[in-house]
Structure 1
Amino acid sequence: MITYFESTGQVVPVTVIGFREGNIVTQVKTDATDGYNTVQLGYRRVRDKKLTKPEMGYLEKSGVIPLRHLQEFRLESVEGFEPNQKLELEELFKEGDFVDVSGTTIGKGFQSYLFISVLGF
């Protein structure tokens, strides 16, 4: 989250979404072949040495460059997606679109109380 100030002085909280190198469709699963619709995306390009031989073989079979992370996303329809298709940010989102963002954090327990007690409050 960051704070964005408009020209009128109004404060708008925004979440910045970053796209790293990659974002390539590595596999498309359909109802007919697998029983459900998913698109598998790969992102964050790495050197060949950073991946295992099975990972490299899987990506070479798809004809994709070496990518660190692979993630499947379930969709209603997978029309328009093909293996080795690069996704562009401008094609997916336009200015003013709303997206749901979620994150995970590491549980910190009572860290805030410990910080306060150290300062003597």
Structure 2
Amino acid sequence: MSGLIGKKVGMTSIFDDLGRSIAVTVVEVEPCTITQIKTEETDGYNAVQVAAFSKKAKNVSNALLGHFDKAGSEPKRVVTEFRDYIPEGFELGDELNIEDVFSVGDRVDIVGISKGTGFTGVVKRHNFSGVGDRTHGQHNRERAPGSIGQASDPSRVFKGMKMAGRSGNRRTKIQNLSVAQILPESNLVLITGSIPGAKGGYLEIHNKSQQLA
């Protein structure tokens, strides 16, 4: 699946041919440098590794500096790979632009780090309904989790029990969005709907319309 690296700018709305307002997320997609091409013969699978958004060399490890030098690229902030995709006509060190990978109407999956909301209870974290009222003496149990385990058998709490804890701030994928508009002169892509993360967060944009032949 082909793709590029982007950065979330914010949300706005556009109008279609019928005058309907469509909510879109604005994503900045800089030209992504190809830093490695993986094949079945050398790596056991096909993939292209790309990097985007510049970073100061003093903040990059020597190993990564050597990796970027091999591709003839300056240090980059985000490096990721897209499996089962090798762009035709491109070599190590070349840049992939928006229009090389995406077209208006393409279906895309967006991967990003969701907003963190800190330590939260079960009502906010897992959508528990709570007691709902204060009948039968329930004066302080509206947002409590209730019973969580068993007594003598099995006398433990199973792993994965829905309880209070850290909410958000995790890798999240939103599927089957679409490319509404491309602004190549500004390196911007408008994608329908909302996508994970805060403004300025880095994203992986997977194009479901292009597969490795």
TM-score range, shorter chain: 0.7 to 0.9
- The aligned residue for residue 74 of structure 1 is 83
Distance 1:3 1:86, change over 3 A: same
Quote the offset at 1:99 in angstroms.
1.7
1:39 equivalent to 2:64? Answer no
* Bigger strand fraction: 2
Q: For 2:57 and 2:116, how far apart are their aligned partners in 1?
A: 34
Higher relative CO (Cα under 8 Å, sequence separation at least 6) belongs to: 2
Quote the offset at 1:7 in angstroms.
6.0
Quote the offset at 1:32 in angstroms.
0.9
- The aligned residue for residue 52 of structure 1 is 61
RMSD: 2.3
Residue type of the partner of 2:86?
V
Quote the offset at 1:61 in angstroms.
2.1
TM-score, length-normalised on structure 2? 0.45
Deviates more, 1:81-90 or 1:43-52: 43-52
Listed as ranges, the matches of 1:92-103 within 5 Å are: 92-103=101-112
Gaps of 5+ in 1: 112-121
Distance 1:106 1:10, change over 3 A: closer
* Bigger helix fraction: 1
Quote the offset at 1:105 in angstroms.
1.3
1:9 equivalent to 2:19? Answer yes
TM-score, length-normalised on structure 1? 0.73
Structure 1: 4+ residue segments shifted above 6 A: none
Q: For 1:55 and 1:107, how far apart are their aligned partners in 2?
A: 29
Q: For 1:26 and 1:54, how far apart are their aligned partners in 2?
A: 13
Quote the offset at 1:8 in angstroms.
4.1
Distance 1:3 1:102, change over 3 A: farther
Distance 1:85 1:55, change over 3 A: same
Quote the offset at 1:85 in angstroms.
1.1
Report the secondary structure of 2:67's partner residue.
Answer: helix
Aligned residues: 109
Larger Rg: 2
- The aligned residue for residue 89 of structure 1 is 98
Residue type of the partner of 1:64?
S
Deviations 1:69-106 (A, max 9, x none): 1111111x425242101001122222232322243314
Gaps of 5+ in 2: 1-10, 126-213
